[in-house]
Structure 1
Amino acid sequence: MYQTVADLIAAAERQHQPLWRLVLDQEMEYSKQPEAAIMERMRGQLQVMEEAARKGAAGVQSPTGLSGGDAAKIKRYRENGGGLAGDTMLWAIQNAIATNEVNAAMGVICATPTAGSSGTIPGTLFSLDQRFHYTDDEKVHFLLTAGGFGMITANNAMIAGATGGCQAEVGSASAMAAAAAVEINGGTPRQSAEAFAMAMSNLLGLVCDPVAGLVELPCVKRNVAGAVNALAAADMALAGISNRIPADEVIDAMRRIGKQMPASLRETGRGGIATTPTALKMKIRIFGEDVTNEDDGAVK
């Protein structure tokens, strides 16, 4: 098992293999399954992602009413010629929102690496697919590369908002997506590592402050930030820009920041956006509670 990003990149360069191949070989060794079985399982996960993106774009609503319908709005906006930053960006926004709206509506998604960050990787991959028209195998390779970086992150830091804030969820997903976006578009393993490091660096310190403790506000739209950030980091890496700070050191910085982050900003719904007056009114409407926040004194 590759313990660090540096180990993974060194192996890819030494063996003259793409990152996805090394991750697949590692999974074969770990799971004791043949390549065909793993690829078939990954295609199934890809299909789940594609279906969630389609379903969300058609319009879904969460039981609480805190989220839903926004992916359909972006879809209409895009189809009517809207967009300040081009079609790729709009597709990223649409697919990221769509996936997380399906999650909030109790639909089926693929956690990448968590349910709360499940829109970032599909948002990135499917926006690029609209332009470059990848094969299914290429899209699976994207997921394998992303997963390899995610495994290293999970083993050396954290990927859950409850332990490290949203930097650990959307931040990790964004970095994973950036690394995979570089590889699928012809970048080198080292450029993938640079993209990963830049994407994660950009989101360090991002807190997890879900309104009413539910993975809806501001979570859905933070996945948009994750997808857009991944695209920007991938482009910078492909242009030859370096993060200067190595990926493994960025992962460790994320770990240390997560440990320093107060519990009120780690998925408890007791700080940040979750304790604004409007958010507390939403919580009362949903749960029928009169809420006073003991961390910052916010009241309904």
Structure 2
Amino acid sequence: DIMLEAVQNAIATNEVNASMGIICATPTAGSAGTLPGILSVITKQLSLDRDAQIRFLFCASAFGMVVANDAMIAGATGGCQAEVGSASAMGAAAAVEAAGGTHQQSSEAFAMAMSNLLGLVCDPVAGLVEVPCVKRNVIGSVNALTSADMALAGLVSKIPADEVISAMKSIGENLPSTLRETGLGGLAATPTGIALKMQIFGQDMSIDK
């Protein structure tokens, strides 16, 4: 199954990162599983050779540079929407290009993928890039593949890519610091999240202290 293979490879990449292995930040370490999840699937489905795989990465990085220059790609500044959201949108655009779509279709896929993840906060339990980060990369990969499919089928985003990026920046700037990689809000601030942090670090660092 295409989606399950994307899930498998997205998780595998992030587990390598969590175990201090070598990964490629695409665009960050916390979102490094999203693009591999996508690329592993379309390489098989579209029989991409090495040059085509490299073009996929160039296309993804080009869109990523726009996001980095016009908004942000770090969870500490814009929440997980800036990390997994950006990675998912980058992958969607590149998947369309790899499938022979037009530049405009790549832009539509990018816009739809990023729109779907706007507002996603960065709330790593115990401040570690594991929970819920690893599984959010899965969502990023699957979201990218479905957005690419929609764009190739002729669907368009009512809001153009540049404006979606601007919206993401505005949302990120308005997120409270507790939801921007500090590990002090969201899932990290739940009773179980705090208990896990105490288990790992041996101290209670909840926001009520």
For the aligned pair, the TM-score class normalised by the smaller chain equals over 0.9
Could you list the per-position Cα deviations for residues 28-81 of structure 1 after superposition, in whole angstroms to 9, with x for gaps in the alignment?
A: xxxxxxxxxxxxxxxxxxxxxxxxxxxxxxxxxxxxxxxxxxxxxxxxxxxxxx
1:214 counterpart (124, 128, 150): 128
2:117 paired with 1:203:
yes
- Cα distance in 2 for partners of 1:166, 1:256 equals 14
1:143 equivalent to 2:57? Answer yes
- What do residues 192-230 of structure 1 show as CA deviations (whole Å, max 9, x unaligned)? 000000000000000000000000000000000000000
- The equivalent residue for 1:226 is 140
Matching of residue 120 in structure 1 with residue 34 in structure 2: yes
- Does the Cα contact within 8 Å between 1:209 and 1:266 map onto a contact in 2? yes
Would you say 1:109 and 2:23 are equivalent positions? yes
Query: Which sections of structure 1, spanning at least 5 residues, go unmatched?
Result: 1-86
Task: Tell which structure's C-alpha radius of gyration is larger.
Answer: 1
How far apart are the structure 2 equivalents of 1:103 and 1:187? 32
* Matching residue of 2:105: 191
Deviations 1:274-300 (A, max 9, x none): 011111111001100023323xx8xxx
- Count residues with an aligned counterpart: 209
Matches of 2:87 and 2:206, distance apart in 1: 33
Between the aligned partners of 1:98 and 1:271, the Cα distance in structure 2 is 27
In structure 1, C-alpha distance between the alignment counterparts of 2:102 and 2:11, rounded to whole Å: 30
State the Cα distance separating 1:128 from its structure 2 match. 1.4
Question: Using the alignment, how far apart are the partners of 2:96 and 2:137 within structure 1?
Answer: 19
State the partner residue of 2:8.
Answer: 94
Decide whether the 8 Å contact of 1:174 with 1:229 is kept in 2: yes
1:132-183 C-alpha deviation (Å, 9 max, x unpaired): 2210110000000000000000000000000000000000000000000000
Contact 1:175–1:197, Cα closer than 8 Å, also in 2: yes
For the Cα contact (< 8 Å) 1:197–1:243, is it kept in 2? yes
Aligned to 1:22: none
Q: Secondary structure at the match of 2:26?
A: coil
One-letter amino acid of the structure 2 residue matched with residue 280 of structure 1: I
Report SS of the residue matched to 2:30.
coil
- Secondary structure at the aligned position of 1:121 is classed as helix
CA distance, structure 2, for counterparts of residue 217 and residue 145 of structure 1? 29
- The 1-side partners of 2:65 and 2:139 are apart by 22
Match of 1:176 in 2: 90
Q: CA RMSD in A?
A: 0.8
Identity score, percent: 67
Structure 2 CA distance, aligned partners of 1:252 and 1:177? Answer: 19
Paired residue type of 2:116: N
Contact 1:88 / 1:130 at 8 angstroms: preserved in 2?
A: no
* TM value normalised by structure 2: 0.98
Q: Is the 8 A contact 1:100 1:119 kept in 2?
A: yes
Gaps of 5+ in 2: none
Contact persistence 2:184–2:206 (CA under 8 A): no
Q: Which amino acid aligns with 2:112?
A: M
> Partner amino acid for 2:26?
T
How far apart are the structure 1 equivalents of 2:133 and 2:173? Answer: 21
